[in-house]
Amino acid sequence: MSDKEKKSTEVLESKGLSRRGFLGASAMTGAAVVGATALGSSIMSREAFAEAAKEAKSKTHVAPGELDDYYGFWSGGHQGEVRVMGVPSMRELMRIPVFNIDSATGWGLTNESKRIMGDSAKFMNGDCHHPHISMTDGKYDGKYLFINDKANSRVARIRLDIMKCDKITTIPNVQSIHGLRLQKVPHTKYVFANAEFIIPHPNDGTNFDLSGDDAYTMFNVIDAESMEVAFQVIVDGNLDNTDADYTGKYAAATCYNSEEATDLGGMMRAERDWVVVFNIPRIEAAIEKGDFATLGDSKVPVLNGRAGSELTRYIPVPKNPHGLNTSPDGKYFIAAGKLSPTVTMLAIDRLDDLFDDKFEDPREVVIAEVELGLGPLHTTFDGRGNGYTTLFIDSQIVKWNMDDAIRAYNGEDVKYIKQKLDVHYQPGHTHASLTETSEADGKWLVVLSKFAKDRFLPTGPLHPENDQLIDISGDEMKLVHDGPAFAEPHDCIMARRDQIRTKKIWDRDDPFFAETVKSAEADGINLTADNKVIRDGNKVRVYMTSLAPAFGVTEFTVKQGDEVTVTITNIDQIEDVTHGFVMVNHGVSMEISPQQTSSITFTADKPGLFWYYCSWFCHALHMEMCGRMMVEPA
C-alpha cells in the first residue's frame, strides 16, 4: 500500500467510517473497488484505479471483426423475454420474446407464435427467472434453452438453432413456477420445476383453507422433448430453487416456508427449513406400478412426496434457504441460508444410504455449514474447488474453498474464505462460465446486482439494475465491467460459442411454420412461387412472397369486417435480408427472415385505403417496398 493510500484509509477510520459506509456515500469511491478484496483492502489511488481500468478494458474488449468467447442467456425478468449477450464484451446481441408481445418480430401477434403460446396467449405478461441449457453427459449440447414464467405458471423451450421459442407448457394444479433446472445425465430427459405457492385442492373457490392436508404445492417434472408434464410430486412447505446431480438419480429443492405460514412472521419462525431430495428412479417405478393419483381434469400422475414418503427425503438446513446449486465435480448440493449467514453442503454420495434408511438423522448427509456473511443467496463454481456465493445484505461476493470449508467444519484451523469482493449493490444470482456442467472453466463470473444506485446516469425514480462481470481466472476476483439492465433480469447462463450452432437461414421444412405450410397446401398454394388472394365468405387469405425490394402482392381488396390472413414467404436466400410486414392502423406487425414463412390474422374493421410496408431495412429501395389494402364499406 502506498503512503497516499494509507493516509486515505487512516482518515476514513479516524472519522469512524467503514469502507462499506464510505462506498455507500460516494459514487467516485464506489468505482474504486475494481480488483479490491475485503481481506485488508483499502481505497485505491487514482493511479491504481486507472491501471485496473486499463487491465479491465483489455480483458473485455472485443475488437471489430472479432467474436465473443461465450454466449450469455439472460432472463428478461418482468419483460417475459430472454436476452442474448456476448461475453466478455457484455454486448446485447438479440432478444428472444417468449411470454411477452414483441412488435418487432410479431411474437404474440403471428399465427405461428399464437399456436405455440396456446391458451396462455391471453396473458399479456410474463416473469422470467431461470434460463438453463440442455445437456448431454453433463455438458451443454446447445439444443434447447428452457425458461420459467413465475407469473402465469408456465415453462417454455427455446430452440437454440433458430433462437425462437417453440413450446410453452402451462403447468396444471399449481401456481407460480419458480426454480427450474435440468437433468444433466445421460441427457436432459427431464426439466425440473418448482411451484412456489401452496393452494387448496381443488382450487375451485369452495375452500380457501390453507391449513389442511388438501393444501400443498408440488415439484413438477416436464418431458424435455414433448414438453408435456411427466409427473408431479406433492411436498410439504413452499419450494424455492432446485438442481440435479450428475448421475441422473437425484434432484433437490430448497423449501423456505416449512411452517406453511401465510404471513411474513410465520414464514420466518423456524430456525431450520429443509432441502427436499427427490429419488427419480423410485418415482418412475411408482408411476409404472400405478401408485399415483390425478387431480381434476388433469391426467398428469401426482405422487405423494410428503415427509415419510419413500420417494423423498427432507434434510433440515438453516434458515429460509434460497439457492440450491450442484458443484461441477458432482459431489455436493449447496443450499444458501438467506436468513442464516451460512451455506449448507450436502454430500450427494451419502444420499443412497439416506434413502436406504441407514442414517437415523437425515443431517448425516450434511458435511459442512459454512459461515460466509449476511444474506447468502446463490453459489456458483470455478471448477477448481472454489465456490462463489452472493451475499445480498453485505453486497459482496465471497470466494471460498469447498475442501477447506469441510476441514474447518471438522475442527481444523484452516481459512476457507479466500476473498470477498464488493459488488454494487444487493447481488442476487451469480453465474460462472460453464458452471452448471462438468466443464466449469473458471474464467468469467457474472453477478446480477438488484440495485444500481449511483453506478449510472440517473433515470428517474425507476433505476436500472447492474450486471457486473468479474474476472475469476486468477487467484483474485477482479471486477471488470458494469452494465445496466432493465426490469429485473434475475439470472443468466453462459455457454462456449462452439456449443451453440445456429442456422444462417431457415430450412423450408422447418416445423416452426409447418402448420402454416399445411394450410397453404390445402389452398393449393406453392408458398415460394404463388402470389394469390383467396376469398372464402368473410375470410380472405392473402398469399405473397417477399424478395427485396418488393412484395409479390402490391394491392388487394376486402370488405369491412372481413377476417384477413396474410401469409408471406421470404424467398431471399442471403442471410441478413429479413423483411417485415406492417399493416398501418391495424396493430399488425411481423418479421419474415430468409426462407421463413410467417402469417398473421386480423380484422379489416374500417373502410378505406391502408398501406402496408416492409419494416426491416432490407435494400436501398426498402422505403419503396410497400402495398395497399382497400377496404370496401360493409
DSSP character at residue 497:
G
> Are residues 201 and 312 part of one domain?
yes
Q: Which three cell numbers stand for residue 77?
A: 425478468
Residue pLDDT, tens place only, 509-524: 999 999 999 999 999 9
With beta carbons less than 8 A apart as the criterion, state whether 201 and 207 touch: no
In a shared domain, residues 153 and 242: no
List of E strands, 171-214: 175-182, 190-197, 199-200
Distance CA 488, CA 492 (A): 11
Point out which residues pair with 471 in neighbouring strands: 444, 478
My answer on whether 186 and 334 are in the same domain is yes
Tell whether the model's pLDDT for residue 29 goes beyond 80.
no
**Confidence label for 317 from pLDDT (cuts 50, 70 and 90):** very high
Please name every residue paired with 175 in a beta bridge, in sequence order, or none if there are none.
197
Q: What does DSSP assign to residue 413?
A: -
Residue 431 lies in a domain: no
Answer yes or no: do 28 and 152 share one domain.
Answer: no
Quick one: pLDDT at residue 53? 65
3-state helix, strand, coil in the chain (%, to 5): 15, 40, 45
- Are residues 27 and 67 both part of a single domain? no
Question: What CATH number has the domain bearing residue 247?
Answer: 2.130.10.10
pLDDT over 50 (residue 24)? no
DSSP 272: E
Better pLDDT: 54 or 321? 321
Q: Is residue 149 part of a domain?
A: yes
- State the residue range of the domain holding 97: 61-169+496-502
Which residue has 427455446 as its cell numbers?
Answer: 158
3-state secondary structure 381-411: ECCCCEEEEEECCCCEEEEEEHHHHHHHHCC
DSSP code string of 341-358:
SEEEEEEGGGHHHHHTT-
pLDDT in tens, 593-621: 999 999 999 999 999 999 999 999 999 99
Domain boundary among 485, 502, 519: 502
Query: Is the pTM above the cut of 0.85?
Result: yes
Asked if 103 and 11 sit in the same domain, the reply is: no
Q: What is the pLDDT of residues 421-454, one digit of tens each?
A: 999 999 999 999 999 999 999 999 999 999 998 8
182 and 324 share one domain? yes
How many domains does the chain fold into?
4
Q: What is the pLDDT of residues 9-23, one digit of tens each?
A: 443 344 343 333 433
Coil, helix or strand at residue 250: strand
Of the residues 343, 363, 383, the one at which a domain ends: 363
pLDDT tens for 443-502 read 999 999 999 988 999 999 999 999 999 999 999 999 999 999 998 889 999 999 999 999
Question: Percentage of the chain with pLDDT > 90?
Answer: 89
Residues 310 and 255 in one domain: yes
Instruction: Identify whether the C-beta of residue 344 lies closer than 8 Å to the C-beta of residue 334.
Output: yes
Looking at the structure, tell me whether residues 99 and 179 fall in a common domain.
Answer: no
Q: Annotate 36-60 with DSSP letters as a single string.
A: --SSS--PPPHHHHHHHHHHHHHHH
Helix (H) or strand (E) holding 244: strand 239-244
- Report whether 253 contacts 239 (CB < 8 A): yes
Taking phi over 0 as left and psi of -120 to 50 as alpha, with beta for the rest, 308 belongs to left
Question: How would you classify residue 410: left for phi > 0, otherwise alpha for psi between -120 and 50, otherwise beta?
Answer: alpha
> Is 140 in the same domain as 194?
no
pLDDT above 80: residue 279: yes
Say if residue 341 is in the same domain as residue 225: yes
- Do 32 and 181 lie in one domain? The reply is no
- Percent pLDDT > 70 in the chain is 92
Does residue 381 fall inside a structural domain? no
Burial class (CB in 10 A: 0-12, 13-18, 19+), 458: exposed
> What pLDDT does residue 55 have?
74
Contact 585, 592 (CB under 8 A): no
Beta bridge partners of 96: 82
Q: Is the pLDDT of residue 7 over 50?
A: no
Q: What is the pLDDT of residues 233-268, one digit of tens each?
A: 999 999 999 999 999 999 999 999 999 999 999 999
**Residue 424 forms part of a structural domain:** no
Residue 459 lies in a domain: no
Mean pLDDT estimate for the chain? 92
Give me the pLDDT at residue 45, please: 61
Residue 5 has pLDDT above 60, yes or no: no
Average pLDDT, stretch 379-383? Answer: 98
DSSP string, 356-369: TT--SSGGGGEEEE
106: nearest Cα among 604, 587, 457: 587
- C-alpha span between 140 and 325 (Å, rounded): 17
* Residue 132 in domain: yes
Query: 466 with 58: CB under 8 angstroms?
Result: no
